[in-house]
Chain A
Amino acid sequence: MKNVRKITSSKTFPPLVALFGILLFNVFLNPGFLTITIVEGHFFGQLIDILNRAVPIMILGIGMTLVIATGGTDLSCGALLALSGAVAVSLIRGKSTILNPETETPFIIVILATLAVASLCGLWNGFLVAKIGIQPIVATLILMTAGRGIAQLITGARNLTTGYPPFSVIGQGWFLMFPVPVFIAAGVFLLVWFLVRKTAFGLFVEAVGINASAARYSGINATLVIMTVYMISGFCAGVAGLIYASNIMCADATNAGLNFELDAILAVVLGGTSMMGGRIYLGGTVIGALIIMALTKSIYAFDVAPESALVVKAAAVVMVVLIQSPLFQNFRGRVRACLPFGRRAGEGA
């Protein structure tokens, strides 16, 4: 009984239930939903597709989780995704043409430069928030508007395409029967998870999120922590930008990652991390991103415009928000107190 209690009271439990609920619903709509076939040595199927498509949101969400844990928000990550795509494709193109796709810039330099640009943009956000003391929403609003402008400056307001084969591997390749982006997402997740759970950094982030001045007085360099967190978010946007650009083999400065920042925030909130800060649930964010994609998938099963998925998204957020609200928490606490096996000591709402 105790183990069950432990699982159900975990913060990642409700989103996990929600994800399974949506998947079940999908199976109900389309019995072939869960089938995974092997074509040309790769896994194919709806589940793999959801996993693959959720990757950009997932990676942005992982960075966003840390930012939200410090009590901030990063609105710029969608624009940074577009910007890093523009940087990567324009570097690859160099002077090469479609007929002669060999790039003049070494491929590794392309990737490193893109990630460096994205991280620098993130650092700039962090600088504005931590050093200058601008509110996160406003500080990142600057790059959210200007970032896309700079991306269009780089691409010359055209959709730059590329045919460079190694680049296509990032977004379209397969490895061990799974799509490469899934491995990249797993890599980013493990990296951040290690940083957060196996070093003191996660504790610092949560401390800053709960009370920045208390953290400062206890000797934590809050400025440095906040700047690092925004830099990580920028880095994640860079990785997601590479995947996105490689997937369509094109740098689309206007539409790439449009509204992704909202989806990323949504993934974080759906995953159980409070917007108030102070808590990190990386696993929850990953599940949140999967929920968003699974929801979108189930909308496609109906005969409505795919854009109407937004209504369902709105309903999903309302539900999560209601569950997280103090009103409902009180109610749940009262129900728990009435249960026969009683209330565990020290358990709060």
Chain B
Amino acid sequence: MKEMKEVKKTKKSRFSIDIKYIPALAAMFLFIASYAIGGMLYGDRGFLTLRNFTSIFTDNAYLGVSAVGMTFVIISGGIDLSVGSVAALSTMLIAWCTAELNMDSRLVLGLVLALGTFMGFMMGVLIDKLKVPPFIATLIGMFLARGLCFLISIQSITINDPLLRTLGRWRIRLVQRPPAHINISVIIFAVVLVTGIVIMQYTKFGRGVYAFGGNRQSAMLMGLPTSRIQIGVYAFNGFCSALAGVLFAFYTFSGYGRHLYGMELDVISSVVIGGSLLSGGVGYPIGSLFGIMIHGVILKYISFNGKLSSWWTKIAVGVLLLLFIALQRFIVYVADRNKKILKEH
């Protein structure tokens, strides 16, 4: 026992940072590097201005909110394909309820968030109680939410509610020239992110998610409430998806069934690039933040260049995914080897 501790110590001292942080750190460095390269290429056109920097957040806040929820799901060892559809359903419901039914917008917001949470909860029940694979259960949610959008209306509905308009337009100006600002979406994203980090690091539930994702058999034998954890994760993600939809409604002031098609892919790839392992048990919400920001910077490259087509985004994201997955595989390989060395001692 004593020997083992010593071995562990020597290992620790050789790697000054714990190996499990590397993917998230790599994502951070990649973001900084890509931003710096962008600055070198397009610095003369204002790539490095505060305005450009904050716009990465204002443009991608809804993705970020969804990514926090997705991080939970992926750490728990699952996957959620329904996020884009649930978010689209939220925009649709907000628009329809305020424009056609003349409902109070505060009530509508509450209802939408509750509905998203409920859909996530139901998917969690399917997965946990009926042992439906997460892929299929959330596929059902995806179809259902998207279909409900079109049952409401196949047209795009404009949001004219005064309160929602005011909230969506509200912003804090940071610098006068060139105008840089943050809006309510960025603040909500920050709150969700901090909440996510606190839940994951400091609460029983969050630690349970790690344990469950790492090895559900052991988690069960340890007496953790695995059902509550698994269903809770999907319910939380449902809430995040609905909130992402609300932010997107603030961003576009419209509800439409074709909104956010394929958003789940952007979110999942950002979370993976941010260092969460799809096999579960490893990942950090803060890593997903960098995943989202890298995605945002790629989009910025394309808009600054002007000649590049948007399909380069897809290829770039694909290549990044490959790189990061290869890195993760390498880390798992090294960790396994270390374990073996420990065992031999």
Contact = CB atoms under 8 A, between A and B. Distances in A.
- Could you tell me the dominant secondary structure of chain A's interface residues? helix
Interface string B305-331: 000011111110111011001100100
B131 A325 contact: yes
Nearest to B129: A327
B309 to A, nearest CB: 5
B150 A310 contact: yes
B130 A305 contact: no
A132, A133, A145, A157 pick with most chain B CB within 10 angstroms: A145
Given A134-B329, A142-B321, A311-B143, A149 B148 contact: no
Interface string A299-318: 00000110111111110011
A149 B315 contact: yes
B147 A311 contact: yes
B272 interface: yes
A211 B314 CA distance: 35
A314 B315 contact: no
B140 A146 contact: no
B142, B143, B309 pick with most chain A CB within 10 angstroms: B143
A346 to B, nearest CB: 23
A275 B127 CA distance: 13
A138 B327 CA distance: 13
Nearest to B326: A132
Interface of B: 79, 81, 126, 129-133, 135-137, 139-144, 146-151, 154, 257, 265, 268-269, 272, 278-279, 309-315, 317-319, 321-322, 325-326, 329
Contact of B278 (A137, A266, A308, A326): A137
Contacts of A146: 314-315, 317-319
A152 B135 contact: no
B278 A135 contact: yes
Nearest to A156: B309
B291 to A, nearest CB: 14
Nearest to A254: B311
A144 B265 contact: yes
What are the 10 closest A-B residue pairs judged by CB atoms, nearest first? A146-B318, A310-B147, A149-B314, A311-B147, A152-B311, A307-B150, A314-B144, A149-B315, A314-B143, A325-B130
Contacts of B135: 73, 137, 265, 275
Contact of A275 (B136, B147, B311): B136
Interface residues on A, range: 35 or more
B311 A149 contact: yes
B139 A266 contact: yes
Contacts of B150: 304-305, 307-308, 310
A135 B131 CA distance: 20
Given A149-B311, A153-B315, A325-B132, A142 B322 contact: yes
Interface of A: 73, 132-135, 137-139, 141-150, 152-153, 157, 253, 262, 265-266, 269, 275-276, 304-305, 307-314, 317-318, 321-322, 325-327
25 contacts: A134-B329, A138-B321, A142-B321, A146-B319, A148-B314, A149-B313, A149-B314, A152-B309, A153-B315, A157-B309, A262-B81, A265-B136, A269-B136, A275-B133, A275-B136, A307-B149, A307-B150, A307-B154, A308-B151, A310-B146, A311-B148, A312-B147, A313-B143, A326-B130, A326-B131
A321 B136 contact: yes
Contacts of B154: 305, 307
Contacts of B312: 149
Contact of A145 (B132, B265, B309): B265
A64 to B, nearest CB: 12
Contacts of B315: 146, 149-150, 153
A142 B268 CA distance: 11
Given A135-B278, A157-B309, A265-B139, A142 B147 contact: no
A146 B154 CA distance: 30
B116 to A, nearest CB: 16
Contact of A310 (B144, B314, B322): B144
A293 B137 CA distance: 21
A145 B314 contact: yes
Contacts of A308: 147, 150-151
A305 B140 contact: no
Contacts of A132: 326, 329
A142 B322 CA distance: 7
B151 A305 contact: yes
A145 B135 CA distance: 18
